[in-house]
Amino acid sequence: MTMFTRLAAAGTLVASLASTTAMADTYRLATNVSDNSTAGQLLAEFAGAVAERTEGRVEFRMFNDGVLGDQGQYFQQIQRGVIDAGLVNSGTLENVASAVGVMNLPYVFRTSEEYAEVMTAPEVQQALFDATAEHNVVPLGFISSGFRSIYTTEPVESFEDIQGLKLRAIASPTYMEMLSLFGAVPTPLPFGELYAGLQQGIVDGAEGGLAGLYVAQFGEVAKYALLTNQTRLTDFVVTSNRFVESLDPADLEIVQEEFQKISLKSVEFSDASEAADLQKAVDEMGVQVIEVDTAPFIEAVRPMYENARADEAKRPLIEAIFAIENREF
């Protein structure tokens, strides 16, 4: 049973014990991204499809750009049932369910095709569902972002050039350890504060999706993009048990079906969208994209794989991923 079918089954069971009267309702969906980002566009498509298919019984009102707080803040409200749903990346989820940290390991995904195969595998979806269920977190599904790299305000060309640089990091143990092993100084900073941080020299650069150089205008101050492709951060839309229980089973099935569609669409969509946005940063902002030898980066983080296999919570997930990818440790 996949993440999606288990969610539907749980909702059907609960809803069958309650009233079967379908009531129109509006649910708040929080994100920290702009409405023209990859995730923002896909979520708008999802919300529109759900509203149409449920004939207005289930409507999602989008709160983008962190207006309901940063991810950590609204994630806690989702767990309490105060906010209905939200976009939470695998870095934030890792702080609650350590097994999710496997998805954040650098170079665990080597191609977009490999990523898609892993993320749609029933055994991987089930492992992620099981890891979050005990924390009152119910994933609707995933939205892929593109590969993440490094961008800086000063010229860089190699692994050696980032030694000692203060790089903005997601506040996740895996991302912090990764940047430390790269030789940089990981510096947690809310996404909404990154532009000012780059401008004021609080950080020398950041680890992130290169599309942000254009979409979030970081390319106005960070002119150098080092194409390292070390991680593929996954966004999840998560809800709580309260949300699941509030939906009529037929409507819950529609929500589940529509989210599965955008999950599958997001892999190809994000690659095309983010490549186009990076090109705009090059053409309109003068950002320089530097090809780099990734071998030193891969070698530096090898201990992270060994540690993951030694962790009982993480071992099943990393071994499942490597089996799907036909990789040796």
Beta strands at 148-152 and 138-144: parallel, antiparallel or unpaired: unpaired
Widest pairwise Cα distance in the chain: 63
The candidate with the shortest Cα–Cα distance to 222, out of 293, 273, 280, 281, is 281
How far, in Å, CA of 329 to CA of 309, rounded? 9
The residues near 204 (Cβ < 8 Å, ≥ 6 apart) are: 152, 153, 154, 165, 166, 167
Whether 155 and 60 map to the same domain: the answer is no
Burial class of residue 164, CB neighbours in 10 A (0-12, 13-18, 19+): exposed
Whether 58 and 121 map to the same domain: the answer is yes
Whether 99 and 177 map to the same domain: the answer is no
Whether 205 and 251 map to the same domain: the answer is no
Burial class of residue 321, CB neighbours in 10 A (0-12, 13-18, 19+): buried
Report the share of the chain in percent with pLDDT over 90: 76
For residue range 127-183, what is the model confidence (pLDDT) as tens digits? 888 889 889 999 999 999 889 999 999 999 999 999 999 999 988 899 999 999 999
Tally the domains of the chain.
2
For residue 291, the enclosing domain spans 148-232+278-325
pLDDT at 60: 97
- What is the band of 113 on the pLDDT scale with cuts at 50, 70, 90? very high
- Average pLDDT score, the chain: 90
Whether 227 and 241 map to the same domain: the answer is no
Q: Is the separation of the CB atoms in 33 and 62 below 8 Å?
A: no
Whether 115 and 197 map to the same domain: the answer is no
pTM over 0.85: no
Partners of residue 141 on adjacent β-strands = 237
pLDDT at 7: 53
Q: E strands within the chain?
A: 25-30, 58-63, 85-89, 138-144, 148-152, 166-169, 185-188, 205-209, 224-231, 234-239, 288-291
CB atoms within 10 A of CB 1: 12
Whether 29 and 154 map to the same domain: the answer is no
For range 308-317, the mean pLDDT: 92
Whether 316 and 172 map to the same domain: the answer is yes
CATH number at 209 reads 3.40.190.170
The candidate with the shortest Cα–Cα distance to 246, out of 32, 41, 11, is 11
Whether 248 and 226 map to the same domain: the answer is no
Q: Copy the structure tokens of residue 240.
A: 């709580």
For residue range 226-281, what is the model confidence (pLDDT) as tens digits? 999 999 989 999 999 899 999 999 999 999 999 999 998 998 888 898 899 999 99
Whether 113 and 256 map to the same domain: the answer is yes
**Alpha-helical regions (H) of 54-150:** 71-79, 90-94, 112-119, 122-133
Whether 142 and 268 map to the same domain: the answer is yes
pLDDT at 206: 98
Q: Is the separation of the CB atoms in 202 and 189 below 8 Å?
A: yes
How far lies 42's CA from each of 109, 116, 270, 299, in Å? 22, 17, 10, 35
pLDDT at 14: 39
How far, in Å, CA of 128 to CA of 140, rounded? 11
Whether 289 and 318 map to the same domain: the answer is yes
How far, in Å, CA of 219 to CA of 199, rounded? 11
